[in-house]
Amino acid sequence: MPLSEHEQRLLEQMERALYAEDPKFATSLRSGSAGKPSRGRAAFGVLVLLGGITLLMVGAILPLIPLGVAGFLVMVVGATLTYLGLRGRPAVAAAEGADGGEPGAPASPTTSAKQRTPRPSSGFMHRLEDRWRKRRDEGPQ
């Protein structure tokens, strides 16, 4: 069922307000590929990894240490590309990475970093903070 004209206008107003308040977050929501794995990047990473292995083997067979080191570095780059290509970020994590929000917290356009309250400290950390305050207040004697 299509949206009515009134609903479409409200949706456009909300979209404009979101872009005006946090354009980086709005752009990350609009791009659909932010949270999907990339097979192309993973395949390229595998090819780079295989090339690095080849360079490493050639550097080991021929006594060329710099070539072996370069092969190892190429292997690391290939493994990283493969990992990043296969790893898919969840859409919520991609959105939180863009606006700097807390994991699991609902993204609200009205909350800013200044309005967020810090998490209550755990019992252990609370005791350590109390001890530190007592030492500081007492001072050297």
pLDDT tens profile 77-116: 999 999 988 886 544 444 444 444 444 445 444 444 445 5
DSSP string of 7-51, one letter each residue: HHHHHHHHHHHHHHH-HHHHHHHH-GGGGS--HHHHHHHHHHHHH
Among 113, 98, 109, 100, CA closest to 24 = 98
Q: What confidence score (pLDDT) does residue 133 get?
A: 84
Q: Considering the entire predicted model, what is its pTM?
A: 0.42
Give 139 or 82, the one with higher predicted confidence: 82
Tokens found for residue 82? 């493969």
Could you tell me the residue ranges of all domains in the chain? 1-36+89-102, 38-86
Tokens found for residue 63? 């006594």
pLDDT tens profile 54-88: 999 999 999 899 999 999 999 999 999 999 888 86
Q: What confidence score (pLDDT) does residue 127 get?
A: 82
Residue 45 burial by Cβ neighbours in a 10 Å radius (0-12, 13-18, 19+): buried
Asked if 94 contacts 36 with a C-beta cutoff of 8 angstroms, the reply is: no
Give 101 or 138, the one with higher predicted confidence: 138
pLDDT tens profile 3-53: 788 888 888 888 888 788 877 777 766 665 555 778 888 899 999 999 999
Tokens found for residue 120? 């209550």
